[in-house]
Structure 1
Amino acid sequence: MFGRLSNTRMPQTRARRAHAPDAASRPDRKAAILLAAEKLFAQYGYHAVSIRQIAAEAGVPPALVGYYWGAKHEMFHAIFAHWRSTIDERLSLLRAALDGPRPTVHDVVQAFAEPVLQLRASPEGEYYALLVARELMYRTPDTDRVLAEMFDPMAHAFIDALHQLRPEWPRARAAWAYQFAMGALLHHLVDYRVQRLSNGENTPNDAAAAPLLIDFITAGIQAALPTPASKETPP
């Protein structure tokens, strides 16, 4: 991780600053680089962004990108590790819902969607939400490894929860329901046409739309996994 900087030809004063940044500025520069990468990856995609572009966006020499974060794929992984708390929050809410006296599909969907929708409250969170949506929709072998590591265990937990609530249906059907729910959530995050399509009455990512989206996803899952009183015999 640090070898790249030592092999870079640069004036001694710059090298000294890169290897031993001022204690007060180091966290700021390191965080600025990660935020710049997150923003550019979200806007243009992982493969379309170079280290030099990340450095320019962060306002630092390109060598500092490698110094703090290593290669580009390591930085991509670091972004998701930085936001690991969002995944942990979703799983914590899911456990709390399932431990309740009468867990419902709505409870599961709320745990699934609410923390993601709340990310849009800050610019940094918005970049991350857009990055996740982009990379899940346009996944490549390089990025898919990170997504599988970070998100597949959580996906399995939610699929298992749906299967627990609707055990009469095969787990594979619950996996379809999760896939459809993910599609609705991702589309809501990335599609800004609602303002145009509503003739200006709706604004993209309006927080007031969150309960409506959760109700919409809940109804879809309930239609795909109906309760025994209303469902047909599983195939």
Structure 2
Amino acid sequence: MPSPRPPRSGARRSEAAAARPDRQMAILLAAEKLFAQRGYHGVTIREIAEEAGVPLALVGYYYGPKHELFHAIFVHWQATAEQRLSLLDEVIQSPKKSDRLRQVVEAFVRPVLAQRASAEGEYYAQLVGRELSRRTPETQRVLEEFFDPLAHRFIDALHATRPGCDRTRVAWSYQFALGALLHHISDHRMPTLSRGQAPSMDPAAGDLLVDFITAGVGALLPVSRTPRPRAPSSSTPRRQP
């Protein structure tokens, strides 16, 4: 009687190879790159699999449907939001009161610029600048889960620097600041507009952006001052005792 054949070790090896963590990350990075370049609706799952160099079925195995893969990108980068909030907490807890508005703006801007300048964060920054301005079910979920809480924290911090202003005005100032930041990290026209004198994403532009946002927010949210009582005019007749 012939002995039973052993299980095919090659099949087991291929299954293990298909589930490698590096493939899971390759899928995430491929999706991030293609979404940043072409937009969420301009990319198919098949194209993501080809970019990642993995079988098509493996994308669904790790991430499920396309909208869950999109969501997973923002989960992966949540540490950047936490870094911004950590810097904001340092500003709030600092005993130094002078220049508080600029410190809040620094916490708002600097981590994003550092991320955009890194090889790892370039496509994510482009993705945020491109996709989150569009109102779709996919972006709405991301905004509500990751970005709205962040926005409220920064609006609260801005409001604390200008307590005499109403929250609506503070929220508008945040929106204008956000627009400047998102445009800066996604724009590539500076070499053309400067006639070759400035590269795209010039590191020196970070200071200019902080100056611009600080001045703009400061103009929209003036420091409230309690008016002093006017001194009596010399021409005002004095009351006789």
When normalised by structure 1's length, the TM-score is 0.87
Change (3 A) 1:128 1:191: same
Runs of 5+ consecutive residues of structure 2 not aligned to the other structure: 1-7, 228-241
Residue 87 of structure 2 aligns with which residue? 93
Residue 91 of structure 2 is aligned to residue 110 of structure 1: no
Residue 205 of structure 1 aligns with which residue? 201
Residue 66 of structure 2 is aligned to residue 72 of structure 1: yes
CA contact (8 A) 1:35 1:124 kept: no
Which of residues 172, 175, 187 in structure 2 aligns to 1:191?
A: 187
Residue 216 of structure 1 aligns with which residue? 212
Change (3 A) 1:100 1:153: same
Q: Identify the structure with the greater helix proportion.
A: 1
Shift of 1:121: 2.5
Residue 177 of structure 1 aligns with which residue? 173
Change (3 A) 1:230 1:146: same
Q: Secondary structure at the match of 2:204?
A: helix
State the identity %.
61
When normalised by structure 2's length, the TM-score is 0.85
Q: What's the Cα RMSD here?
A: 2.1
Shift of 1:70: 1.3
Q: Secondary structure at the match of 1:114?
A: helix
Shift of 1:16: 5.4
Which of residues 223, 226, 240 in structure 2 aligns to 1:227?
A: 223
- Structure 1 letter corresponding to 2:210: I
Change (3 A) 1:206 1:230: farther
Alignment partners' CA distance in 2, 1:105 and 1:15: 61
Mean CA deviation greater in 216-225 or 12-21: 12-21
Matched ranges for 1:152-163 at <5 A: 152-163=148-159
Alignment partners' CA distance in 1, 2:134 and 2:183: 13
Mean CA deviation greater in 119-128 or 14-23: 14-23
Alignment partners' CA distance in 2, 1:129 and 1:165: 28
CA contact (8 A) 1:18 1:64 kept: no
The number of equivalent residue pairs is 218
Alignment partners' CA distance in 2, 1:144 and 1:69: 19
CA contact (8 A) 2:109 2:210 kept: yes
Mean CA deviation greater in 71-80 or 173-182: 71-80
Q: Secondary structure at the match of 1:81?
A: helix
Q: Secondary structure at the match of 1:144?
A: helix
Q: 1:5-27 CA deviation, whole Å, 9 max, x = no partner?
A: xxxxxxx999856643278xx12
Alignment partners' CA distance in 2, 1:157 and 1:37: 29
Residue 33 of structure 1 aligns with which residue? 27
Alignment partners' CA distance in 1, 2:47 and 2:226: 55
- Structure 2 letter corresponding to 1:84: Q
Shift of 1:68: 1.4
Runs of 5+ consecutive residues of structure 1 not aligned to the other structure: 1-11
Residue 38 of structure 2 is aligned to residue 44 of structure 1: yes
Residue 81 of structure 1 aligns with which residue? 75
Q: Secondary structure at the match of 1:123?
A: coil
Change (3 A) 1:171 1:158: same
- Structure 1 letter corresponding to 2:124: Y
Residue 233 of structure 2 aligns with which residue? none
- Structure 2 letter corresponding to 1:137: S
Q: 1:102-131 CA deviation, whole Å, 9 max, x = no partner?
A: 341100000001000001232330100011
The structure with the largest alpha-carbon Rg is 2
